[in-house]
Amino acid sequence: MIHRFLERHPDMAYSVSCTTRPMRPGEHNGRDYTFLTDKEFGDGIVSGRFVEWAEVHCHWYGTPREPLDQALSAGHDVMLDLDVIGGLRLKECYDERAITLFIMPPSIDELTNRLRARGTDSFEVQAIRLKNALTEITFADRFDHRVINDDLDRVCTEIESILALDKGNKAI
């Protein structure tokens, strides 16, 4: 969904998150994620490198502060891909400059099917991700907007409508 949206809006910046999880086939360091060791990630927390960070699905994920602030200062809107905790922390840090979108699956069955069809995680990791998703859905009402991810083009159009209501360099 994010890739489709960014294809439609090449002027929008994308915040590459850091993670300690192993790189998956086809991923590239610095494009999909910046892959760090546990020690590097821990050092980044201590040094204030991250705007937000959390342990998700048994690995650490975080948003590096410097490239996000640089893009916003340069006048760019920035798209981020965050878990629930990250989205809420981003809103705390950037207040009205952050527009939070909770992306909902069309159904739990469809979410389960998507996790299986991806084929990137073991059955155990899929179970953890599904359990976490069920918990995260309970936070949906704390986000500015909720969008059901049922059709990529429709979702992109809905997000465009949301952003049209609130112009100016934002973290999304």
Does the structure show a pLDDT above 90 at 126? Answer: no
Residue 172 lies in a domain: no
Does the structure show a pLDDT above 80 at 132? Answer: yes
The kind and range of the H/E element at 51 are strand 50-56
Residue 99 lies in a domain: yes
Does the structure show a pLDDT above 70 at 167? Answer: no
Mean pLDDT of 15-32: 96
Percent of the chain with pLDDT over 90: 79
For 147, phi then psi, to 5°, come to: -130, 130
Domain extent at residue 43: 2-165
* pLDDT tens for each residue of 27-76: 999 999 999 999 999 999 999 999 999 998 889 999 999 999 999 999 99
pLDDT at 139: 96
Q: Please report which confidence band the pLDDT of residue 118 belongs to, taking 50, 70 and 90 as the band edges.
A: confident
For 78, phi then psi, to 5°, come to: -130, 130
Q: Please report which confidence band the pLDDT of residue 107 belongs to, taking 50, 70 and 90 as the band edges.
A: very high
Residue 170 lies in a domain: no
Q: Please report which confidence band the pLDDT of residue 169 belongs to, taking 50, 70 and 90 as the band edges.
A: low
Widest CA span of the chain, in angstroms? 43
CB 81 within 8 A of CB 162: no
CATH code at position 58: 3.40.50.300
What does the mean pLDDT of the chain come to? 93
Residue 171 lies in a domain: no
Q: Give the chain's domain count.
A: 1
